[in-house]
Structure 1
Amino acid sequence: MPRSQWAQHADEGRRFGHMTTNISECINAIMKGSRNLPITALIKSSYFRLGELFARKGSEALAQLQVSAEFSQTLMKAIESNSKHVNTMNVYQFDRSRSNFTVEELTAVSGSRQQNYQVLLDEGKCDCGYFQALHISCRHVLAACSHARLDWKRFVHPVYRMESIFNVYRSEFRPIGHEDD
C-alpha cells in the first residue's frame, strides 16, 4: 500500500474522502495570514474571509444551477475520467435485480493491483474502496451500470447535486457595522 494511503486505510471515520487532517489543512489555508493577531482581529479576519468565500462559492453554484447543471463540475470530471476505462472491462451479473456484479479489468490501470472487483450497487460497495469512501461511481460501478443499462446518477450521493452545494452557500454574511451603531 502506498505510504500516502496508510492513514486512510484504517480510518473508518472518513466521509467523502476527507479525514480530520485534510479538514484542518483546509482551515489553515483559510486562516493563512491571520497568525499572531489579537483575538478580535482574528475573529474579524475569519469572518471577512469566510464571507468572501461564501459569496464566491455561492455565485459559482448559482451559475451552475442556472445552466441546469445537475452535478458539480468536479464530479463530472471524475466521472469522465473513470468512464475512460469502462470499455476495457468484462462485467458479470449475479442476480436478477441487477445489483451484484463482478467486474474484471482486462488491461492494467495505473495504481491498481487487483483484476477482479465485486460491485454491490444496493449496498454502495466496490472492492476498490473508492465507491464507499467518496460516494461517487468508480470505474467498476460505471462498467456495471453500463452493462445493466442502469443510470449511474442514482448511485451518487445527494451531497454532490448542485442544489445541495448551493444550499451550503445559501447563507449570506452581513457586513459588520461600526461599533457606535
Structure 2
Amino acid sequence: MIRGRAEKSFQLLSSYLYMLKLKNPGTIVEIENDSESRFKYLFMEIGSCLAGFRSQMQPVIAVDACFLKGKYFGSLFVATCKDGNNNVYPIAWGVGDSENDASWEWFFTNLRSAIGHEIPDLVFVSDRHKSNSKAVLTVFPNALHVHYIYHIGQNVKGKFKHENVHALFYKAAKAYPESEFHELFNDLERYDPAVSTYLREASFSRWVRAYSDGKRFDIMTTNIAECLNTTLADARKFSIQCLMEYIRNMLQQWFYERRGHASKMARHLTSWAEGQIAKRFALSQYWLSEPIDMYRFNVKDGNSGGIVDLKAKTCTCRVFDFDKLSCGHALAAARSRNIDLYTLSSAYYQTEALLCAYVDPIMPVGSQADWIVPNERASVNLLPPATRRPCGRRKTCRIPSAGEGEEEGKMWSLWSNWPQSPNLLKSNKSG
C-alpha cells in the first residue's frame, strides 16, 4: 500500500527514468513495449557505473538472471564485474519476461551499445543457459565466453557418485599450470572414464583456468552476480519502479561508502591486493632467485619452482599470468633486484584506480512532487505485461535451470512446493 499499485508503477516508469537520466549524466535507459503498449523490456545503466567500468575495471563481466516475485511475471538481468578491492561492481540491469533467446539478446544488444563492442580481451562469465550462450555469441562474437564451474560441479556430483570426484573436479578446474590440470584430470578419469567424457564435452576452454589464457583473471564463478540476486531477495517483490529506485539507492550507498574507504587507503595497491601480496611475500621470503638475464629469473621454492619474466610479467607457475598480481616467484625475483614490488601488479589493483571508479556520486531523483517531466514523457501510458501471477501463495524459490543435476533438481522441486513458515524462508534465503 505504501509503494502503490503495480499498475501505477508501470505508468510512472517513463517519468522516473527521465529524472534518473537528468540527475545522473551519462545514464542509459531503454524501455520497449509491444503493439498494445504493454511493458516488454527495460535496460538501465547508471552513468557513474558505466564511467567506472570503462576506465578502471577488469574487462570480465559476469551475467546472471533471477525471477521477480511481484504481481507480474518477469526476470531481473544483471551484468557486473569486480573492482580492484574485490568488491562487486554492478554495470547494468534489465527486466524481461523470462530467460529466453529474445530477452537475453535484447539485454546484450543494449549492453553493447552502452559499453561498446571493441573492448580488448572482453570476457563474459555465465551459467550454461542456452539462451545466454546464444546471445553472447550473436551480440559479442569476438568476446571470450566462459562458464562458471558451480553448475558443472553439481552435475558431476549428481551424475557420478564417487566420493572424491567432486573435490577433484574443483581442484582441476582451478589449477594454474596445464601440467597440474592434466594430472588431476587423469585422476578423475581413473575413477570413471564417463567423468572425463562428460567434462570434455563441456569444453576445457570454457571451465578450466589453465586453458583460459589468463583473460578471466581469478573469476571462476558468477558469485559476484548471484550475490546481487541474494541482496535483492526482498526488493524483487516490489513493483518495477520501486525496484529500480531500490537498486539506485543501494548503489548510491555503495559508492559513498567505498569512496570513503578508498580515500583512507595509504598504500599504492588496494587493501585486498595488499593482503594478497603480503601472504605471497611471506611465503617466498626464503626462496632462492637465480638470474638468467636482466629480466628473467629461475626461482627455487623447494618444489617445481618457477621461471619469471619481470618485463613480460609472466611466470611458469602461471599465477602471475592469470591473477595479474605478483606471484611468490615474481616477488622473490623482484626482491633480489630491489625492484618495487607494487609496480608489477595490474593497474586495476591500484588505489588510485579504485578512487576513480567511485569518484562520481549517484544522485537521487528527488520527491515525485518535485519532478519536472516533459508532457510527452509524463503522458506515456505504459501498461503492465499481460502475464500476471495466478491467485494464491506465490512461490519464493527458483526452479532449477537447465544443466543442474537431477538430484539437485528434485530437491529444488520439493523445496519450492513445500509449505514453509516465514522464519524458515528467512533463514534459508541465501540458498
Which residue in the other structure is 1:91 paired with?
Answer: 289
Question: Could you tell me whether the CA contact under 8 Å between 1:117 and 1:128 is conserved in 2?
Answer: yes
Which residue in the other structure is 1:104 paired with?
Answer: 300
CA distance in 2, matches of 1:46, 1:12: 34
Which residue in the other structure is 1:76 paired with?
Answer: 274
Q: 1:29 to 1:57 in 2, by over 3 A?
A: farther
TM-score, normalised with respect to structure 2? 0.37
CA distance in 1, matches of 2:214, 2:345: 19
In the alignment, structure 1 residue 134 sits paired with structure 2 residue 323:
yes
Choose which of 220, 236, 239 in structure 2 pairs with 1:38: 239
Which residue in the other structure is 1:172 paired with?
Answer: 361
CA distance in 2, matches of 1:34, 1:53: 16
Deviations 1:110-155 (A, max 9, x none): xxxx522111111111122221222111111001111222221211
Equivalenced residues, count = 169
Deviations 1:155-180 (A, max 9, x none): 11122121110111111011221222
Identity %: 23
Q: 1:127 to 1:33 in 2, by over 3 A?
A: farther
Question: Could you tell me whether the CA contact under 8 Å between 2:268 and 2:342 is conserved in 1?
Answer: no
Question: Could you tell me whether the CA contact under 8 Å between 2:305 and 2:329 is conserved in 1?
Answer: no
CA distance in 1, matches of 2:245, 2:315: 45
Question: Could you tell me whether the CA contact under 8 Å between 1:13 and 1:19 is conserved in 2?
Answer: no
Bigger share in strand: 2
Choose which of 333, 351, 359 in structure 2 pairs with 1:162: 351
Residue 20 of structure 1, CA deviation: 6.2
In the alignment, structure 1 residue 4 sits paired with structure 2 residue 170:
yes
Question: Could you tell me whether the CA contact under 8 Å between 1:69 and 1:162 is conserved in 2?
Answer: yes
CA distance in 2, matches of 1:38, 1:52: 21
Give the superposed CA RMSD: 2.2
Residue 23 of structure 1, CA deviation: 3.3
CA distance in 2, matches of 1:175, 1:140: 48
